[in-house]
Amino acid sequence: MIHEEHLYIAGPMCFYPRGSSLWHSQRKEAEFYGAIVELPNDNWDSVPGDSIEEKIINNCDISMRKCTAILANLENHRGFMPDAGTVFEIGMAYGLGLKCYAYTRDKRPQGAKYFGGTYELDRILDKDGEILMDMDLPFSDCIVGACKIVEGKFTDCLRVFREDIEEESRMKAVRGRVETFDAPQRFPGSSGKKVVYVGDCRRGPQAEKRHAEMKRILEKYGYEAYTPSDYNVNVPVLQQLDDPYARAYNRFDHYQQHVRDCDIYLGVLDDHRGYEVDSDVAFESGMAYMFRDKEMFGYIESPESMADRTHSTASENGSPVDINGWSTEENGFPVNMMWGGTKLFRGMEFEEAVKQMTELLKGEE
């Protein structure tokens, strides 16, 4: 049995026809084994917010803060990557220090799952000619780094979680066992300037020139700037290791430390290998959201809504649905509504977004 564990169940079920029934069946299964379950929509009647997107993120925030663990569904959603809202929630959970579990029916490496790739010697290029950096891993660095990933369905993930809880209980009584763990810290910038971390959807060697230009623009406006191309000075660089999982965790460690250290998180929310926000960016956005000391912004080059980009049509009740019959974001929102608490810049160049961000921050002083 599971004792004193509050589980947050995450996944794209809210988009599916009859998805609510699936959610509640998962709740019943977890409750059968003794867990207390929190769903993202449990507080809807009382949650604050002036718009549906504000109510969604506030609702998830309230539920998440009651929990000790998250169990998340990583099925691909509108393309190559998992539902960005689900990965946002994993980032929220990690930021709060929850136990992070996830499940998928397909844990094959991304190189085997990405159908739009071109083979070039020992690497795979995506449709834009970018190197598929995590081709040996089932998901992005941040998902692999933060989660215990179970191959199978919700029931399989719940079983592994139960077994781990039992093992934790048993180990409490093992004589002579000592565990050490460095608690996460925040290391502020040394320049006296506001520190901006740009969570860009493009990563790897091919993105270094792009990141250098982003940093140049941010420094022009008076910020200390970092991107995924920058290693964090407080984290060792272990990219010489042979194990791809170890290298991925080390990259994740650098990314999550950048999120902890920054004053301002600026996520690049462009479509990436599908219609969803890049998984690393979604994770970092959720993590940054849960730290109340961060200013949070999002930049998306396209001015279109998610419904327009996916060529959605009106359902019987008037809400938009895509070609699969899955609900898409309402009210012209451009990305998953988990970004409802984020100030968004749409349909402009990156420098114009930085300029507007600077003006907004000055207005708040």
199: CATH: 3.40.50.450
Which distant-in-sequence residues (6+ apart) come within 8 Å of 332 by Cβ? 305, 307
> What percent of the chain is modeled with pLDDT above 90?
69
HSE-CB for 258 with a 13 A CA cutoff: 29
Instruction: Examine the domain organization and report whether 164 and 219 are in the same domain.
Output: no
Residue 257 confidence (pLDDT) above 90: yes
In a domain, 301, yes or no: yes
Instruction: Examine the domain organization and report whether 10 and 59 are in the same domain.
Output: yes
Q: What is the CA radius of gyration of the chain?
A: 20
In a domain, 21, yes or no: yes
pLDDT band at 294 (very low <50, low <70, confident <90, very high): very high
Predicted confidence at residue 10, as pLDDT, reads 96
pLDDT band at 139 (very low <50, low <70, confident <90, very high): very high
Residues 298-350 pLDDT 10s: 999 999 999 999 999 998 888 899 999 999 998 899 999 999 999 999 999 99
Segments forming the whole domain that contains residue 243: 195-364
In a domain, 278, yes or no: yes
Q: Poorest-confidence range of 10-19, 57-66, 235-244?
A: 10-19
User: Of 103, 136, 171, which residue sits at a domain end?
Assistant: 171
- Cβ–Cβ < 8 Å for 7, 157: no
Residue 45 confidence (pLDDT) above 80: no
In a domain, 179, yes or no: no
pLDDT band at 33 (very low <50, low <70, confident <90, very high): very high
**Mean of pLDDT values over 147-161:** 97
Predicted confidence at residue 47, as pLDDT, reads 79
User: Of 111, 138, 171, which residue sits at a domain end?
Assistant: 171
Instruction: Examine the domain organization and report whether 218 and 153 are in the same domain.
Output: no
In a domain, 182, yes or no: no
Closest CA to 33 of 8, 5, 9: 5
- Cβ–Cβ < 8 Å for 341, 56: no
User: Of 136, 171, 206, which residue sits at a domain end?
Assistant: 171
**Mean of pLDDT values over 102-124:** 90
What distances in angstroms separate CA 101 from CA 9, 35, 71, 268, one per listed residue?
10, 15, 5, 26
Instruction: Examine the domain organization and report whether 338 and 275 are in the same domain.
Output: yes
pLDDT band at 50 (very low <50, low <70, confident <90, very high): confident
Number of domains in the chain: 2
Instruction: Examine the domain organization and report whether 349 and 206 are in the same domain.
Output: yes
pTM of the predicted protein model: 0.95
Instruction: Examine the domain organization and report whether 160 and 253 are in the same domain.
Output: no
Instruction: Examine the domain organization and report whether 157 and 201 are in the same domain.
Output: no
Instruction: Examine the domain organization and report whether 147 and 60 are in the same domain.
Output: yes
In a domain, 63, yes or no: yes
Instruction: Examine the domain organization and report whether 27 and 79 are in the same domain.
Output: yes
In a domain, 325, yes or no: yes
Residues 166-205 pLDDT 10s: 998 888 888 887 777 777 889 988 888 999 999 999 998 9
